[in-house]
Amino acid sequence: MSRVLGEVAGRVGEEVQVERGPLGPVQFWRGQSRYLVGELLDSWVETLPWWRQDAVVGGASAELVATQEVWRVEAVRAGRSRTSFAGVYDLSWDAAGNRWWLVRVHD
């Protein structure tokens, strides 16, 4: 089961701070909590839904640029045991807005 996070300022998800390494995210922060990425599970590029493209990019070229990179990672809150407390998170990079989003949490 997965939870898609609520809409924030026209975006689905929660804005987070991410440190990115050569292969993808290595850690991220949700508020004051730091999460360490233990494993990169998957990555892909998504096109934003057609009903949101004009709001994000605007104009006729929206289909060409309205994409986002997504990484599915296994991560654990800093200081916790990976074997007991690891979770799976989808992190999205919005290059146009120069921001990272936590878009899904998998239970």
What's the token pair of residue 75?
Answer: 């991560």
Contact by Cβ (8 Å): 106, 2: yes
pTM score of the predicted model: 0.76
- The number of residues in the chain equals 107
DSSP string, 71-100: EEEEEEETTS-HHHH-EEEEEEEETTTTEE
pLDDT at site 12: 60
Q: Whose structure tokens read 């290059």?
A: 95
The tens digit of pLDDT for each residue in 2-40 reads: 555 555 444 568 999 999 999 999 999 998 999 999 999
Here the tokens at position 100 are 């990272």
